[in-house]
Chain A
Amino acid sequence: MNRQQTKNLFHDSIFIGPALLFFFVITVIPFLFGLYYSFTSWNGVSGSAAWVGLDNYVRLFSEDTRFLHSFGFTFRFMLVSLVLSNVIGFGFALALSRHLKLTNLLRVSFFIPNVLAGLLLGFIWQFILLKGFPSIGQMTGLSFFKMNWLGDASTGFWGMVIVFVWQVSGYLMVIYISALQNVDSSIVEAARIDGASGWRSLIHIIIPLIMPSITICLFLSLSMSFKVFDLNLSLTAGGPFNSTESVTLNIYKEAFQNNRYGLGSAKAILFFLVVSLITLLQVSLTKRREVQL
């Protein structure tokens, strides 16, 4: 190692060190703890944890239908939210990357839901869906508002989707706006002169050029919707009859309500593997579509 390398290493560690340390203490170590607990039958309270080997994992696959059901729900929720939040976010970004009088005001107002905590949003929307909608329904007679919101499996599902999309779209919009503003306008103009319609230049020029930000947005909305927890807890708490229970909520209930921390940890590890797999797949797929000028 010569002096130059030593110096570089020193610089690198100054910049990366603190973040790495925090990541290690806050993420890696608890993760390893969780891995250990997933092989035990710890109840979350007592001082000792009995080693049970792979029992927890076997149990999950053989007899826990509710866990599998929560995976199904989360999957459907993710697909629908992913599409809706990106389409809406991108739409807002397109509309607001033009210079309107109200651009800044609108950008802020679309972004605000993201600043609020998901837990609060859940409670606020619970009030809107359970108290607000019926009142509007009584006044207007519109059947959409008169539906039994959050009272059955399908309205519960859509209730979750509505609130989640409303929360996330503004955030994705900001990313898309910055990407759109970075598109070289001369290329778009050249396409115009060559006779490309607005639609065609969007599909063949703009979208390929902003592919990196699409990768990021897809990744974010995918992992956010898959890991939805606070919103789920406060909006429906998994009800009615566990029909809107996301995987994270199921894990939480297993560990803290049923006092089966070991089983809950096993679920969490499994969940981690699934999330990693899906996000890796998505990133590699969209990465391939990115173009270099």
Chain B
Amino acid sequence: MKKVWTSLLVTTLATSALAGCASNNNGSVASPTASSAAPVSSASTNGEVQEIHVFHFMVEISEQFNAMTEEFSKKYPNIKIVNDIVGGSTDWKSDLKTRFAAGDGPDVFAVDGPSMLKLWQSRIADLSNEPWVGNALPFAKEAASIDGKLYGMPYNLQGFGLVYNKDHFAKAGITQTPKTLTELRDAAEKLKKAGITPFGNGYGEWWIFGMHQMNIPFAQQPDPDQFIQDLSDGKATIKGNALFEDYKNFLDLTLKYGNDNPITTDYKTQETLFAGGQVAMIHQGDWAEAPMRQMNPDMGNIGLMPLPINDDAEKMDRLEVGLPLFWALNKESKHLEAAKTFMNWMVTSDAGKKYLTEQFKYIPAYNNIEATSLGALSQVVLEYSKANKTIPWNFSSWPDGATNEFHASMQAYVAGKLKYDEALAKMDEAWKDLYKK
């Protein structure tokens, strides 16, 4: 009998082991509003306060965002906004899924691109007839449309490339910002002679490497969307593609003239290196300026330039510009109209516009909102956008999980575990597997 009990006990424990792993979802939630989410009372009558839950990942502006929603509630006293801001390096997408799985999905939430919109399509409302649609930038609307219907509300533009330290460049005697790979190599050589480490590579961070940097050979293809289609249909491969061969030269250059241990350098470390003046260039976006200025107010003059992977000056002088966020509306929200009112207010009211431009310092994705108070890097993004010298954020159309696989393959190349060709072949394999769903 004792034996039976023991084995029963062990099985029980082992079962709980599994459940433990299934529910081991450590979403650390940064919720500055301390929302003790009380269940929203259904059947709201007139005059009753309606609660709208807003979920997004812009932790860097959480305070300002909370101030904005308070402003909104002043104007609409019967709508209460509860903010859940989960982001930074946390896995906010899993967090969002678990909320929906628990029947506690937010009313308005952030989606980071076409591929995520497709995933959530069955749960979000069609926004084609909203008041702001006429003023949203055409390419932004295109990115948020599925079969001619608009599912996401565009918000702002962001861009990334090589953030560089102008003072270091001047000190090393670089007068012109490099437009080609050869010019970049010369610049790196000059910087090294001046005793400055040219590149701060954050190759430990999946999104710096597997997403933003791998985007360039994809987005520089003659027809990026067609290229993606061909990859999925097995008509094209990453291995052997000319632009990916070019990319190797750029990657090798950053490694040759880069910081120590690039594989374990993450976003924070990379920012610290640059803000502290230890490196002259990092592959980063315009969002990095504010935190780095906070780290070191004496950082000096900084600029942003596209990242050249070959010597075609005209083609390489394009910045990666895209939309980091679309607002999606939960179809099953109990207060659809109130949620729409809030979304609309964010981009059409004077107060909402002011927050977008002056407080968040974002580049609006609307032709009727003028950008003001931009940082140095965002200014460059705006100029390149206006001059139409941009390449798209192609990664938001890749299969889910591709960015992480690319990151792993490229890390293996950087570590010398794989030859470059082998790493590309691995990426092809991963694409095939992930595309299959």
Question: B-contacting residues of A (Cβ < 8 Å)?
Answer: 23, 26-28, 30-31, 34, 41, 43-47, 63, 119, 130, 148-153, 219, 223, 227, 229-230, 233, 239-242, 248, 251-253, 256-260, 268, 271-272, 275-276, 279-280, 283-284, 287
Contacts and interface: CB of A to CB of B under 8 A. Distances in A.
A241 B101 CA distance: 31
B433 A63 contact: yes
Contacts of A148: 261, 263-264
Interface stretch (B7-15, B182-190, B339-347, B366-374): B7-15
A151 B19 contact: no
Given A31-B18, A151-B415, A268-B22, A47 B264 contact: no
B119 A27 contact: no
In the A-B complex, the 10 residue pairs with the closest CB atoms: A258-B401, A241-B412, A272-B18, A27-B19, A256-B94, A276-B14, A241-B411, A241-B408, A259-B400, A151-B264
A94 to B, nearest CB: 27
Contacts of B93: 256-257
A45 B97 contact: yes
A41 B22 contact: no
B247 interface: no
A259 B399 CA distance: 10
B24 A248 contact: yes
Interface string B1-43: 0000011001111111111111110101000000000000000
B139 interface: no
Interface in B404-430: 404, 408-409, 411-412, 415, 417
A284 B2 CA distance: 12
B276 to A, nearest CB: 14
Contact of B14 (A34, A43, A223): A223
Contact of A45 (B18, B122, B412): B122
A141 to B, nearest CB: 16
B105 to A, nearest CB: 10
7 contacts: A46-B119, A219-B10, A223-B17, A240-B411, A256-B93, A272-B15, A276-B11
A239 B415 CA distance: 12
Contacts of B408: 239-242
A171 B409 CA distance: 38
B401 A257 contact: yes
Interface string B193-225: 000000000001000000000000000000000
Contacts of B122: 45-47
Contacts, number: 135
Contacts of A284: 7
Contacts of B24: 229-230, 248, 252
B192 interface: no
Contacts of B409: 241
A251 B119 contact: no
A27 B12 CA distance: 9
A65 B423 CA distance: 16
B119 A43 contact: yes
A253 B405 CA distance: 11
Given A148-B261, A258-B400, A272-B15, A30 B97 contact: no
Contact of B264 (A130, A233, A248, A280): A130
Given A152-B415, A271-B18, 15 more contacts: A45-B119, A63-B433, A119-B28, A130-B269, A149-B264, A153-B417, A219-B13, A227-B17, A227-B21, A240-B263, A241-B412, A252-B94, A276-B14, A280-B7, A280-B10
B263 A151 contact: yes
Nearest to A282: B10
B127 to A, nearest CB: 19
Contacts of B120: 45
Contacts of B434: 258
Contacts of B264: 130, 148-151, 240
A289 B415 CA distance: 47
A223 B21 CA distance: 11
Contacts of B204: 239-240
A159 to B, nearest CB: 10
B354 interface: no
Nearest to B413: A241
A23 B404 contact: no
B91 interface: yes
